[in-house]
């Protein structure tokens, strides 16, 4: 018999704000394209030298466009930093109870009632030589379609975690040995 209330696991949870990360990524991509296309004539090629590109830039680009292009570089760095910061992984503790699965982190907590969890996918990737990468990831998905990515800090606890997850008969549990599906999970925390 497995005692659910005594088992805790230290994990990383990928917290993100769905709309904010999407907006920051879109803005970063647009700024990158604007700066790249605007500064493309400055890039040297085999047909013309650097001096021709700089002359073209100084002569034919309006002053406002020059300022916008050079301000675009630090702006791109700022938006990329914000995007990465919003998607940062947070330390948490994963605990199990008979009727819920709970995540607790610094200043936040999230409880998943067992009857609301549709399935849990476990990813245990292996490298090209057949050895484990020692990264164990859970993708917990609810009936509403929302999901949460959880990475186990201590890889040696993976078998114990799978044993505990097998106790929940109403949750579909699958274990994969590749990264399939990880990028498709929308994290709701």
| Averaged pLDDT for residues 143-158 | 84
Note whether residue 139 is domain-resident.
yes
Domain boundary among 39, 57, 86: 86
Looking up residue 138, the CATH number of its domain turns out to be 2.30.29.30
| Averaged pLDDT for residues 119-138 | 77
Domain boundary among 56, 71, 86: 86
Average pLDDT over all residues of the chain: 80
Please, are residues 90 and 16 in contact by the beta-carbon 8 Å criterion?
A: no
Domain boundary among 45, 62, 86: 86
| Boundaries of domain holding 94 | 4-16+89-184
Note whether residue 140 is domain-resident.
yes
**pLDDT at 162 > cutoff 80:** yes
- The number of distinct structural domains making up the chain is 2
Q: Domain check: are 12 and 104 in the same one?
A: yes
The secondary structure element, H or E, covering residue 136 is strand 136-142
Q: Domain check: are 57 and 80 in the same one?
A: yes
pLDDT score at 26 = 92
Note whether residue 136 is domain-resident.
yes
pLDDT score at 83 = 85
Could you tell me which of 99, 91, 74 has the C-alpha nearest to residue 171? 99
User: CA dist 110 to 89, 148, 171, Å?
Assistant: 15, 10, 18
Q: Please tell me which of 50-54, 66-70, 151-155, 174-178 the model is most confident about, judged by mean pLDDT.
A: 66-70
User: CA dist 74 to 46, 70, 83, Å?
Assistant: 29, 8, 14
**pLDDT at 170 > cutoff 90:** no
């Amino acid at each position: 018999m497995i005692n659910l209330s005594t088992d805790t696991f230290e994990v990383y949870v990928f917290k993100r704000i769905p709309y904010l990360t999407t907006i920051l990524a879109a803005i970063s991509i647009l700024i990158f394209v604007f700066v790249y296309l605007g500064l493309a004539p400055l890039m040297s090629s085999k047909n013309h030298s650097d001096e021709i590109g700089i002359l073209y830039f100084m002569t034919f680009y309006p002053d406002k466009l020059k300022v916008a292009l050079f301000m675009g570089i630090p702006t791109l760095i700022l938006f990329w930093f914000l995007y990465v910061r919003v998607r940062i992984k947070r330390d948490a503790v994963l605990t199990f109870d008979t009727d819920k699965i709970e995540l607790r982190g610094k200043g936040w907590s999230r409880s998943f009632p067992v009857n609301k969890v549709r399935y849990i996918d476990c990813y245990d990737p292996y490298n090209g030589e057949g050895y484990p990468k020692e990264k164990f990831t859970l993708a917990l998905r609810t009936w509403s379609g929302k999901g949460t990515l959880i990475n186990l800090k201590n890889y040696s606890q993976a078998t114990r975690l799978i044993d505990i997850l097998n106790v929940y008969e109403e949750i579909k549990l699958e274990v994969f040995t590749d990264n399939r599906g990880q990028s498709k999970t929308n994290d709701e925390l």
